[in-house]
Amino acid sequence: MPQSYDVFMLNRRVKFRPFLEDFNEENVVLHESELQLLDPTERMLRELPTMLKRSPRLDNVTIYARDLDQVWMTFCSGYQELAAAGGVVQDEDGHVLWIQRNGKWDLPKGKLESGESLEEAAVREVEEETGISDLEITGEAFTTFHTYEQDGVILLKTTFWYPMRHRGTQTRGVPQSIEGISDVTWLTSPFPEEVLNKTFGSIRTVLDELL
């Protein structure tokens, strides 16, 4: 299967896909809720965040490219990149570990420290943010990309999510308040709508992939 990339911008998924032979040769296809680009220029890629801000109903963006890797590298070059790692943690009864961070439901993750492997960073961040230990990585990482602005700098974060098992059942956690975390809790799937409605699109994707 050809390579593809998904990046979340303003909590909306932007899909990078290989060119399809039956794609409309028009360079831009734009509707109120849908945008398709074919072989976008560097300028078009740079203006994506502005377009999304100005179009709150635009929720389906797909970029098709004949040289997808080159277009993806051009897109990434417009951002300062950083890496993070985290986990989708299940206990022995299948409950999933969630946190509330700055009013949003989220999964524990954080930036890599110097000299750390991805696996080490993922376990450390889960332990620090939730107070939950006795963790074991049980599979390969799933990767997500998202952009955000911090101190006037636009960042592209790559997060490596590992499936993990906690040796225990609904162990009481300790939220890392210095990181804006107010709650640590275990939930069972299917998750309540009030949780899913207050999380990020990328988190839904991670859960679909790793659970």
Tens-digit pLDDT profile for residues 74-117: 999 999 999 999 999 999 999 999 999 999 999 999 999 999 99
C-alpha dihedral, 110 to 46 to 197 to 152, nearest 10°: 50
| Residues 2-21 pLDDT 10s | 589 999 999 899 999 998 76
Closest CA to 185 of 105, 92, 93, 86: 105
| Residues 134-186 pLDDT 10s | 999 999 999 999 998 888 888 999 999 999 999 999 999 999 999 999 999 99
Looking at residue 1, what is its pLDDT?
47
Looking at residue 21, what is its pLDDT?
66
Residues 6+ apart with CB under 8 A from 190: none
Amino acid of residue 2: P
Closest CA to 46 of 83, 14, 15, 76: 76
Q: How far out from the chain centre does Cα 117 lie?
A: 19
Rounded-to-integer distance, Cα 76 and Cα 211, Å: 29
Rounded-to-integer distance, Cα 68 and Cα 19, Å: 8
Closest CA to 40 of 22, 8, 62: 62
Cα atoms in the Cβ-side hemisphere of radius 13 Å centred on 204: 13
Amino acid of residue 65: A
Per-chain mean pLDDT for the chain: 92
| pTM more than 0.75 | yes
CB 155 within 8 A of CB 137: no
